[in-house]
A and B are shown apart, each in its own frame.
Chain A
């Protein structure tokens, strides 16, 4: 069984981002970038399926500028077998719809049984690429996964939903997107980092797949939300209760 894992290069989750002075977007120069945390979870899950001899090959895919290769390399260091980099110019961001269309073309070439994506990229917070890919392939989807069991051409997936947990059975091939509690991603070991340097990365462009990446959403403005002011540090519980009684209807 072959698994594709799309991995996105994003601003590291520990970084405090800044809006560009011209309000056109977020400052990305000299900012620490990492693999989207949900995608690390996706890579880990694919590797566990490989460790369990359920999967035979794990392929990491990234769509982005030249540096996205670092992200693919990270996946290879964790243990993925090879990479596909769909390169775009620096400063270009590709929207989920176009990413899904490119991934569909790669699916047609690679014929995987499973594509595991992150549920959400923590930069654009869109939460849609996996669902879109499933739709245009006409495949089943199980999003927000916290547990995956594969048997007999299908997957039983536990999903984190608003009311609690839901289990679905999806027929393979299928799309799964990861939630935080699916697993804890491994760190790459030194020998694996060395080995990863020799693993192949195929380099493509959106034109190779005949996909137009012109954005559908035009960014008119980027700004910081109104900041909350730090309030009062109080000395006692009774002081807190009297403040709340003045301010909060539910307490008065």
Chain B
């Protein structure tokens, strides 16, 4: 039983989601190969080779793989899947974009967003925004799986797998990259941060995110997240959204500020270790899942909190 794991990367750096998906893959069997598809991505392959437990790293380094378009990467994966039993990827937007194409062409159902592996064909996954969980058994001859990375650990980095070059099929051609507008990484990444501070509609403006959330995030080395309402209102960019249809996080500490706690938001943060809610409405549903709550005006609490933390520096 051999598993192929698709790495998440930006041609320069291996994303931590890859390691977490590897931990899931290793529960299926010992033989896991990682694919690095991209352009000028040798350094990513070298990092992937260090992940403990990988037996081989495949690198496809070609111009038409630069933007890892679903059409191009899925064609490569389909070709590789002749010799693998299972295809696995972190449930990042890229994984979600690409893997169903491979599943469909293999004529199998994808098992999306798994949180637990019961056996090589049986998995647990959330449905209805995580309001329920389902154990499903795949009856297909090959498995295609995306992994909810917040449910799995990062492996050690002392592996020594060898790297092998492979070539990709000819370009698909009908889809082309136009441009991108990516956030600058001056803070920890949302899905891997130890502390996340999320703001909601209660923040009322983008300026207030800067004035009230950022200093606290700086103080705690935290990533900043948001509710859908805050993103829709334009207070912060789309990649801040936590929830059913945004990012799923499970930090050591999650601070929900001016967020009511809709089920779709809880879907993305309910597995955090400690949840703190700051909301002026004592009936807000967020208090039903928070470990600690302050029923208060966020515009008074946040500066006070920042001051209190500054008093006794970490």
Residues from 136 to 195 in B contacting A, C-beta threshold 8 Å: 136-140, 172, 174-183, 191, 194-195
B94 to chain A, nearest CB (A): 7
Determine whether B301 belongs to the interface, using a CB cutoff of 8 Å to chain A: yes
Residues from 227 to 252 in A contacting B, C-beta threshold 8 Å: 228, 230-234, 236-238, 240-241, 243-244, 247-252
Q: With the chains together, A248 CA to B251 CA distance in Å?
A: 10
Residues of B within 8 A of A174 (CB): 174-175
Determine whether B122 belongs to the interface, using a CB cutoff of 8 Å to chain A: yes
Beyond A136-B104, A237-B301, whether A219 also contacts B135 by CB under 8 A is yes
Query: How many interface residues does B have (CB within 8 Å)?
Result: 93
A240 touches B221 (CB 8 A): no
The contact string, 1 if C-beta is below 8 Å from chain A, for chain B 259-302, is: 00001100000100111100000100001111111110000010
Determine whether A180 belongs to the interface, using a CB cutoff of 8 Å to chain B: yes
Determine whether A169 belongs to the interface, using a CB cutoff of 8 Å to chain B: yes
B112 touches A135 (CB 8 A): no
**New contact pairs (18) apart from A96-B109, A165-B237, CB-CB < 8 Å:** A124-B127, A125-B125, A125-B129, A128-B103, A128-B110, A128-B112, A135-B74, A135-B105, A160-B93, A164-B182, A166-B67, A168-B176, A169-B177, A181-B231, A218-B139, A223-B135, A230-B287, A241-B309
User: Which single member of A180, A217, A223, A247 contacts B245 (CB below 8 Å)?
Assistant: A180
B155 to chain A, nearest CB (A): 21
A244 touches B274 (CB 8 A): yes
Q: Which range holds the interface residue count of chain A?
A: 35 or more
Determine whether A29 belongs to the interface, using a CB cutoff of 8 Å to chain B: no
Determine whether B252 belongs to the interface, using a CB cutoff of 8 Å to chain A: yes
Q: Interface SS of chain A: helix, strand, loop or mixed?
A: mixed
Residues of B within 8 A of A249 (CB): 194, 252
Determine whether B49 belongs to the interface, using a CB cutoff of 8 Å to chain A: no
A-B contact count (CB 8 A): 266
Beyond A160-B239, A248-B253, whether A233 also contacts B293 by CB under 8 A is yes
User: Which single member of B94, B127, B290 contacts A26 (CB below 8 Å)?
Assistant: B127
A-B contact pairs, 26 of them (CB 8 A): A26-B132, A96-B109, A127-B113, A133-B104, A140-B174, A141-B97, A143-B97, A161-B94, A162-B239, A169-B178, A170-B175, A171-B174, A180-B245, A181-B231, A218-B139, A220-B137, A221-B134, A223-B132, A224-B133, A230-B287, A230-B288, A231-B292, A234-B294, A240-B292, A243-B292, A247-B274
B253 touches A163 (CB 8 A): no
The contact string, 1 if C-beta is below 8 Å from chain B, for chain A 190-228, is: 000000000000000000000000011111111111001
A218 touches B137 (CB 8 A): yes
User: Which single member of A11, A135, A250 contacts B128 (CB below 8 Å)?
Assistant: A11
User: Which single member of B98, B245, B270 contacts A120 (CB below 8 Å)?
Assistant: B245
Beyond A134-B101, A219-B135, whether A248 also contacts B270 by CB under 8 A is no
Residues from 178 to 228 in B contacting A, C-beta threshold 8 Å: 178-183, 191, 194-195, 220-221, 228
A125 touches B132 (CB 8 A): no
B295 touches A233 (CB 8 A): yes
B239 touches A234 (CB 8 A): no
Residue of B with least CB distance to A123: B128
The contact string, 1 if C-beta is below 8 Å from chain B, for chain A 134-161, is: 1110011111101000000000100111
Shortest beta-carbon contacts, A-B, top 6: A128-B100, A132-B104, A131-B100, A135-B101, A231-B291, A167-B178
Q: With the chains together, A241 CA to B278 CA distance in Å?
A: 13
B305 touches A220 (CB 8 A): no
Residue of B with least CB distance to A120: B245
A122 touches B128 (CB 8 A): yes
Residues of B within 8 A of A100 (CB): 104
Beyond A125-B128, A164-B182, whether A238 also contacts B308 by CB under 8 A is yes
A167 touches B180 (CB 8 A): yes
User: Which single member of B111, B129, B177, B191 contacts A122 (CB below 8 Å)?
Assistant: B129
A125 touches B126 (CB 8 A): yes
User: Which single member of B100, B136, B183, B287 contacts A217 (CB below 8 Å)?
Assistant: B136
Determine whether B108 belongs to the interface, using a CB cutoff of 8 Å to chain A: yes
Determine whether A19 belongs to the interface, using a CB cutoff of 8 Å to chain B: yes
Determine whether B247 belongs to the interface, using a CB cutoff of 8 Å to chain A: yes
Q: With the chains together, A228 CA to B244 CA distance in Å?
A: 18
Determine whether B70 belongs to the interface, using a CB cutoff of 8 Å to chain A: yes
Beyond A126-B112, A162-B247, A167-B179, whether A132 also contacts B101 by CB under 8 A is yes
Determine whether A111 belongs to the interface, using a CB cutoff of 8 Å to chain B: no
**Interface-centre pick from A142, A162, A170, A217 (highest chain B CB count, 10 A):** A162
Q: With the chains together, A161 CA to B247 CA distance in Å?
A: 10
Determine whether A66 belongs to the interface, using a CB cutoff of 8 Å to chain B: no
Beyond A11-B128, A220-B122, whether A160 also contacts B135 by CB under 8 A is no
Beyond A165-B181, A240-B305, whether A26 also contacts B253 by CB under 8 A is no
Q: With the chains together, A201 CA to B101 CA distance in Å?
A: 30
B110 to chain A, nearest CB (A): 5
B140 touches A165 (CB 8 A): no
Determine whether A16 belongs to the interface, using a CB cutoff of 8 Å to chain B: yes
Determine whether A119 belongs to the interface, using a CB cutoff of 8 Å to chain B: yes
A234 touches B293 (CB 8 A): yes
